[in-house]
A and B are shown apart, each in its own frame.
Chain A
Amino acid sequence: MRTLARALLVGAVLLSHAVVAAAADTVTITLPPDHGALPPGPGMEVTQKACQTCHSTDYIAMQPRGGEAQWRAVVTKMIKVFGAPIPDDDARAIVEYLAREYGPSR
Chain B
Amino acid sequence: MSHQLSRRRFVLGLGAAGAGHLLSRAVAEAAAPDPLLAGRPLVRYPQKTDLILLTSRPPQLETPMTYFDRAITPNEAFFVRYHLFPIPTRVSLDEWRLRVGGHVDRALELSMEDLKTKFRPVALTAVCQCSGNSRGRFSPRVLGGQWGDGAMGNAEWVGARLRDVLEAAGVRQGAVDVTFNGLDAPALPSVPDFVKSLPVARVMDWPDVLIAYRMNGQPLPMLNGFPARLVVPGWYATYWVKNLSDITVTDQPFEKFWMKPAYRIPDNPCGCVEPGTTPARTVPISRMTTRSFIASPASGSRVGAGAPTTLKGIAFDGEYGIRAVEISDDGGRTWRATDLGADLGRYSFREWSARWTPRQRGPHTIMVRAFNSIGESQGLEPLWNPAGYLRNVVEHIDLEVG
User: Which of A's residues lie within 8 Å of B, judged by CB?
Assistant: 20, 24-36, 52-56, 58-59, 62-64, 70, 74, 81-85
A64-B146 in contact (CB<8A): yes
Q: How far is the CB of B322 from chain A (nearest CB, A)?
A: 31
Residue in chain A with minimal CB distance to B1: A64
Report how far A82 CA is from B186 CA in the complex, Å.
Answer: 10
Stretch touching chain A among B10-18, B42-50, B64-72, B323-331 = B42-50
Report how far A97 CA is from B219 CA in the complex, Å.
Answer: 45
A56-B56 in contact (CB<8A): yes
B222-A82 in contact (CB<8A): no
Number of chain B interface residues as a range: 35 or more
B89-A58 in contact (CB<8A): no
Given A31-B56, A32-B43, verify A53-B187 contact (CB < 8 Å).
Answer: yes
User: Which of B's residues lie within 8 Å of A, judged by CB?
Assistant: 1, 41, 43-47, 53-59, 84-85, 89-94, 141-143, 145-146, 186-192, 218-219, 222-223, 226-227, 257
A82-B190 in contact (CB<8A): yes
B53-A24 in contact (CB<8A): no
Residues of A within 8 A of B141 (CB): 64
User: When A and B form their complex, what is the total count of cross-chain residue pairs whose Cβ atoms lie within 8 Å?
Assistant: 96
Q: Can you identify 26 A-B contacts, CB atoms within 8 angstroms?
A: A25-B92, A26-B90, A27-B90, A27-B91, A27-B226, A27-B227, A28-B89, A29-B46, A29-B47, A30-B89, A31-B89, A32-B45, A35-B43, A35-B53, A36-B55, A36-B56, A36-B57, A54-B188, A55-B58, A58-B56, A63-B143, A63-B146, A64-B143, A70-B143, A83-B189, A83-B191
A30-B46 in contact (CB<8A): yes
Report how far A70 CA is from B142 CA in the complex, Å.
Answer: 10
